[in-house]
Amino acid sequence: MRIEIDIDNEDVAGRNYLTWAPVRARITLLEPDSADPVDIVVGNEDASRGGQLEFGTSRDAPLKPTLNASLPATGDPLEIFVAGDFPKASSSDGDAVMQVAASGRPDPPATKAVMVRVRKNADDLAPAERDRFITALAKLNDHGSGLFKDFRAMHREQLALDQAHQGAGFLSWHRAYLLDLERELQKIDASVSLPYWRFDEPAPNLFAEDFLGRTRSAAGNIVFSSTNLLRFWQTDGAGITRLPGFDVRTDPAFVSDQATTLLMGGAKPDAIFDSGPRADPVTRTRGFETMEGDPHGRAHTSFQGWIQDPGTAPRDPLFFLLHCNVDRLWGMWQWFNDRFDGTQPKTFFFRGTQTSAGATRPGHNLGDTMWPWNNVTGPPRPSSAPRTPFPVTASAPAPGPAPKVGDMIDYHGVLDEGALAGFCYDDVPYGVAPP
Ligand SMILES: [Cu+2]
């Protein structure tokens, strides 16, 4: 008798990277020694350490850390669902081990090692997690000659910035931008996920020489420890210029705090993402998208240096951690208010495409594809399209090679398991908030 475990979205190396969202798995009894079904217990190999998993027989019912089931001797697989057990994330690849034991039998349990790979608070990362992230980022930059230069190019000229800012698509575009970068980092080291900078809290470990660097002079020169590969960072020039206006060891940036941000767009159950045309900024209801100004913009302008200005901001790696928190706040707001259905006006106002009546600018309507991944060039799109197509991964089904604004909304696959984009946050659970 032999038990086989197989989880959807396995990569070419046979590895699975899970989030808090349930994915399909199959357990199969092979070479049975009788025609009787075999009772099994599905669980975690070690409940005391590593990432933890939970299991269930349907996608909609709550999952549990153990599941009792029965395997038919016919060889037909038993379909179950498996997810990371919120908030018990992995800290290294393969440290979440699923186990299937046959009840009352001496056979050793079948196991499968996976990773519950989630985006974490940068200030709380273990040194090994931090160093894996830095090493992957430094490799992507490769002294200025690596793929990172295309990410820098995507956020420089005005036509490019127009695709991504001061419009309803701001959050979707940046969600795709971060995910694109994260997938490139994961090609270098599959255990890496983007960390976020909680700009409404002090982050002394982040602004340190062994992480994103410490500001040494009034000119904003950043210094790194001798083992930090970011000391070779190069974009338009060498090094990084960043001068915080606040004490990074003790203070947050000059931003609205998280609780205030989550109430943007109004109170549950009426909270709105956007109220439509910005032609009347005075009378229109303020939706959650106004977080583009505060806390997002204010997090940028809490510094002097590259991070302060949209055209230079991605020269500083801090940009991606800042935006990861912006994206996390959106994800948290979505969870809090159940805003995963793009067909609902409360989730997204401009639900057509750029040619629909009442459309907003190209790239900011729900059905518009996003530059540069759509490879559309020429005004009002920019003249070239780096990072085309969007990288697909075996680890998650979505988005496709040319993501639309709307493809970024149900990133957790709450309404459509095919929309799962394969990332999540350590403090934002899957699914809909409890009433
Ligand atoms: Cu920004």
User: Which residues touch 169 (CB under 8 Å, ≥6 apart)?
Assistant: 163, 363, 364, 365, 368, 370, 405
pLDDT of residue 93: 98
Residue with tokens 């982050």, as numbered in its chain: 203
Looking up tokens 């990133």 gives: 411
Question: What is d(CA 231, CA 240) in angstroms, rounded to the nearest whole number?
Answer: 9
Cα three-residue angle 263-296-151, rounded to 5 degrees = 135
Looking at residue 308, the DSSP 8-state letter turns out to be G
Q: Which tokens sit at 403? A: 């993501």
Q: Which residue has the tokens 């199959």?
A: 26
Q: What are the distances in angstroms from CA 349 to CA 147, 275, 320?
A: 35, 6, 27
* Ligand 1 centroid – CA 313 distance (Å): 7
| Ligand 1 center–CA 319 separation, angstroms | 7
CA of 331 from ligand 1 middle (Å) equals: 16
Cα 112 to middle of ligand 1, angstroms = 39
HSE toward the beta carbon, residue 233, CA cutoff 13 A: 24
42 CA from centroid of ligand 1 (Å): 44
Instruction: Please report the pLDDT score of residue 289 as a whole number.
Output: 92
Q: Please give the pLDDT value at position 177.
A: 98
The pLDDT, as a whole number, for residue 279 is 47
3-state secondary structure of 140: helix
Please list the ranges in the chain whose pLDDT falls under 50: 279
The three-state DSSP-derived secondary structure of 386-421 is CCCCCCCECCECCCCCCCEHHHHCCCCCCCCHHHCC
**Virtual CA dihedral for 180, 181, 184, 189, nearest 10 degrees?**
-130
Q: Tell me the residue ranges of DSSP E strands in 106-150.
A: 110-116
The residues, ordered by sequence, that sit 6+ positions from 92 with a Cβ below 8 Å of its Cβ are: 115, 128, 129, 191
pLDDT at residue 276, rounded to an integer: 80
What pTM, to 2 d.p., does this model score? 0.97
The CA 310 to ligand 1 mean position distance, Å, reads 7
What lies within 8 Å, CB to CB, of 57 at 6+ separation is: 67, 69, 79, 80, 81
Which spans in 270-378 are helix H? 298-300, 318-337
CA of 195 to the centre of ligand 1 (A): 16
- Residue 285: what pLDDT? 64
Residue 349, token pair as written in the block: 């106002």
Report the distance separating Cα 289 and Cα 405, nearest Å. Answer: 14
Q: Which residue in this structure is represented by tokens 């800290």?
A: 91
